[in-house]
Structure 1
Amino acid sequence: MLIETILKDKGGKVTTIPATATLSEAAQLLDTHRIGAVVAVEADGSLCGVLSERDIVRQMARKGESALALEVSAAMTRGVITANSSEDLDRCLGRMTDRRIRHLPVVDNGKLTGIVSIGDLVKHKIDAVTAEAEAMTAYIKGG
């Protein structure tokens, strides 16, 4: 299964935030959209990082409430690992597991086209295995 299939199922909308926004604004955005990470972008819209709930918690643990005034750029993960929509689910799942990341922005031809979480990939993997098991059971019973 390709990443593009997952994006079609979940929708390609990507929530972004300027790298100059505050962690307080980012936390509000995560809460409003009920998501675990947001893609940080430069003024020109280009991807420059990913900020997760864990990044915010880490800064809060280090700096207390004053961390909420920090810019997203101070807490985000840089050097973001990405995928493209034509990549296979298993390959991306392996990369995420190996690198211990939970969110993978999808970039095609230099443009941010989506984001998938490890939960999205695991759900689709389970659905595919379940469908295959049901098909095999039906074949055996019918055959």
Structure 2
Amino acid sequence: MTVKAILDTKGRDVVTIAPDKSLAEAAQILAEHGIGAVVVTRDAGQIAGILSERDIVRAVGQNGAAVLESPVSSVMTAKVQRCREHHTVNEVMQIMTEGRFRHLPVEHDGRIAGIISIGDVVKKRIEEVEREAEDIRSYIATA
């Protein structure tokens, strides 16, 4: 099972924000869309960073509410781990576990092509395990 299969099921739409937008604007976008992270992109769709709810909460906790007027670029994670459509579910699970993050942008030709969450990955993995169990049950029943 690959990242492509996840995106084919869930879609490839990605909520993005420009690096010069404020953290308050980012928080509003996260709330409006009911998502936990937003990909920060440049004009041509190149990934500049990623900003999560946790990033905003940490910034407010450390610097107070005034930090919400700061640009997204001041808080975002600039060194973004990425994956590609050919990566397997197990590979991205390992990347996410080792990096301790829940959202992974999918890149194609240097541009954002989708995003997957740990929830997407776990759901696909459970489906895979259930299908394997059913195949084993069928095999045993016909043997």
The aligned residue for residue 102 of structure 2 is: 102
Residue 138 of structure 2 corresponds to 138
Number of aligned residues: 143
Structure 1 unmatched runs, 5+: none
Corresponding position of 2:55 = 55
- For the aligned residues, what is the CA RMSD? 1.1
1:68 deviates by 1.1
CA deviation profile, 1:72-108 (whole Å, cap 9, x unmatched) = 1011001111001111111111111111121110001
Do residues 31 (structure 1) and 46 (structure 2) align? no
Matched, 1:114 2:114: yes
Q: Work out the CA distance in 2 between the residues paired with 1:35 and 1:106.
A: 16
> C-alpha distance in 1, partners of 2:100/2:111?
24
Please give the secondary structure, in 2, of the residue aligned with 1:12: coil
Give the distance between the partners of 2:135 and 2:42, measured in 1 at CA. Answer: 47
Percent identity, aligned pairs only, is: 43
Q: Show the counterpart of 2:42.
A: 42
Partner SS for 1:79: coil
TM-score (norm 1): 0.95
Query: 1:70: how far off?
Result: 1.1
- Structure 1 segments, 4+ long, off by >4 Å, are none
In the superposition, the TM-score normalised over structure 2's length comes to 0.95
Match of 1:70 in 2: 70
Structure 2 CA distance, aligned partners of 1:65 and 1:13? Answer: 31
SS in 2 for 1:13: coil
What do residues 92-134 of structure 1 show as CA deviations (whole Å, max 9, x unaligned)?
1111111112111000111210011111111100111011112
**Which residue of 1 is the match for residue 126 of structure 2?**
126
Q: What does the per-residue CA deviation read over 1:14-56, in whole Å, with 9 as the maximum and x for residues that have no partner?
A: 1100111111111111111111000001233321000000000
